[in-house]
């Protein structure tokens, strides 16, 4: 069984001009027999 882990990051730049990156979500997917539409977030995952 193959698996892929996707990390979603957000980056903001403060008033001082220094960028700050924050991890928003980690999504694990089994990729056996994967199709392109399998990579989207489910509604439950998007609400985390």
pLDDT per residue as tens digits for the range 1-48: 788 888 999 999 999 999 999 999 888 877 776 666 656 666 676 666
Buried (b) or exposed (e) across 7-34, using 16+ Cβ within 10 A?
eeeeeeeeeeeeeeeeeeeebeeeeeee
User: Domain spans of the chain?
Assistant: 3-46
Q: Rounded to an integer, what distance in angstroms lies between the CA atom of residue 10 and that of residue 28?
A: 18
Considering the entire predicted model, what is its pTM?
A: 0.48
CA distances from 40 to 5, 19, 24, 37, 44 (A): 12, 27, 15, 6, 11
Residue position matching structure tokens 């996707």: 6
Q: What pLDDT, on the 0 to 100 scale, is given for residue 10?
A: 94
Cα Dmax for the chain: 47
């Amino acid at each position: 069984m193959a698996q892929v882990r996707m990390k979603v990051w957000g980056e903001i730049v403060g008033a001082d001009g220094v960028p700050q990156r924050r991890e928003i979500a980690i999504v694990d997917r089994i990729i056996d027999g994967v199709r392109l539409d399998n990579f989207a977030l489910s509604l439950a995952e998007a609400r985390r």
